[in-house]
Amino acid sequence: MTISGGIDLHLHTSVSDGSLTPAELVREAAARGVGLIAITDHDTTDGIAEGVTAGSELGVTVIPGVELAADSAVHDIHLLGYYLRWEDTDLQSALAHLREQRDARNALILEKLYGLRLPLDPARVQEISGGGSVGRPHIAAAMVEAGYVASQGEAFWRYLGRGKPAFVARFQLQPAEACRIMKAAGGFAVLAHAAKVGSWDVIREAIADGVEGLEVYHRDHSAAEAESLLKFARERSLLVTGGTDSHGPRSDRMTTVGDVSLPAWVGEEFLAHAPAWWRERFTP
C-alpha cells in the first residue's frame, strides 16, 4: 500500500479535546496534502468511524488509534495505541472505565475551583467539549470564558497543573495494562512525545512494559532530541512514529495537521507494521 503526501500520526478531534470534528480533520488533512493520519483521541475511539468514512471519500488513510495516560514508577507517560479494532467490546469497556474515572476527576476539580471562588457550570464545560470526553483543557477554556484567566496556559500554571490549587491526580493506569488493552484490541503501543518523559530509564521501562515504538518526531522535540530518539529506536528495532499532536485551530497551542515533517520511510514502515486484521479490512 502506497501513501501519497504527508504523514501525521498524532491527532485529536472534538470527540476528546480537539476543535475539529473527525470529518473536518480529515478534510483539513486532504486540503494540506497529508495522505496518512491517525486519530488518537484521549480515552475514546468514538471519532474513528466518522474519520475512516471521510478518509475513504477523500483519499486519506485513517489509522484507528487512541491516546492513554499511564503512570510509570517515576514519571507520567502517554501511550498511543494504533491499529485498534475500535468496535471491540472489551476495548470499549476499558475505555468507558477510564472515562468514568476522568469524569470523577473533573467533578473534584470543579469542586476545588468552587472552593477557590472560581465557580464553573458543569453543563457549560460539557458544552465547550462539544459533547465529547471532558478534560482539563475544556475546564481551562471555561475559566477563560468566565474571565478568571487570560488563557488556557494560565489556567494550568495557576490552578490546574500538578501541584497547583485545583489539581487532582488522575486514576493510575499502569503502562503494562495500557499496552495489554491495546494489544488485546489488535494493535500496539507507542510512547508519545518520548523526549518529554524525563529520562532514558523511563523509556526503557516503557519498552519493558510492552511499548513497541517511539514517537520520535513531535512538535515539541528539537532536532537534536529527534536524532537521539531515532538512534535509540533503531538500535532496538523499535517502530518510529511522529505527528503534530494537533488539537485543531481553536486550541490554545495551535498546530496544523502535517506541520511536523516526517520522512517518507516512517509511513512506509508504519504501514508495513499493520496487523493482519487491518490489512484484510482496509488494503485494496
In a domain, 272, yes or no: yes
pLDDT for 137: 84
Domain harbouring 15, CATH code: 3.20.20.140
Query: What average pLDDT does this structure show over 161-171?
Result: 88
In a domain, 253, yes or no: yes
Element (DSSP H or E) covering residue 108: helix 89-115
- Count CA atoms closer than 13 A to 43's CA, side-chain side: 21
**Cβ neighbours of 22 (radius 10 Å):** 25
In sequence order, what are the residues at sequence separation of 6 or more whose Cβ sits closer than 8 angstroms to the Cβ of residue 227?
Answer: none
CA 134 vs CA 81, 169, 216, 223, 268: distances in Å: 20, 15, 28, 33, 34
Band of the pLDDT at 171, cuts 50, 70, 90? confident
Query: What average pLDDT does this structure show over 99-113?
Result: 93
Q: Residue 41 is which amino acid?
A: D
- 182-207: buried (b, 16+ CB within 10 Å) or exposed (e) per residue? bbebbbbbbbbbbbbbeeeebbebbb
Can you tell me whether residue 178 is helix, strand or coil?
A: helix
pLDDT tens digits along 218-270: 999 999 999 999 999 999 999 999 999 998 887 666 789 999 999 999 999 99
pLDDT tens digits along 31-68: 999 999 999 999 999 999 999 999 999 999 999 999 99
In a domain, 152, yes or no: no
By percentage, how much of the chain surpasses pLDDT 70? 95
Q: What is the number of domains present in the chain?
A: 1
In a domain, 23, yes or no: yes
pLDDT tens digits along 131-156: 667 888 889 999 999 999 999 999 99
**Per-residue DSSP letter, 93:** H
pLDDT for 172: 77
In a domain, 167, yes or no: no
Query: What beta strand segments (E) does 113-265 contain?
Result: 188-191, 213-218, 239-243
pLDDT for 198: 79
User: Is the pLDDT confidence value at 170 over 80?
Assistant: no
pLDDT for 244: 95
In a domain, 177, yes or no: no
Can you tell me whether residue 204 is helix, strand or coil?
A: helix
Band of the pLDDT at 208, cuts 50, 70, 90? very high
In a domain, 128, yes or no: no
Q: What is the mean pLDDT of the chain?
A: 92
In sequence order, what are the residues at sequence separation of 6 or more whose Cβ sits closer than 8 angstroms to the Cβ of residue 96?
Answer: none
Q: Which domain holds residue 21?
A: 6-87+186-282
pLDDT tens digits along 10-30: 999 999 888 899 999 999 999
Alpha carbon 64 to its chain centroid, in Å, reads 12
In a domain, 110, yes or no: no
Place of cell 503512570: 71
Q: Residue 16 is which amino acid?
A: S
In sequence order, what are the residues at sequence separation of 6 or more whose Cβ sits closer than 8 angstroms to the Cβ of residue 129?
Answer: 14, 17, 135, 138
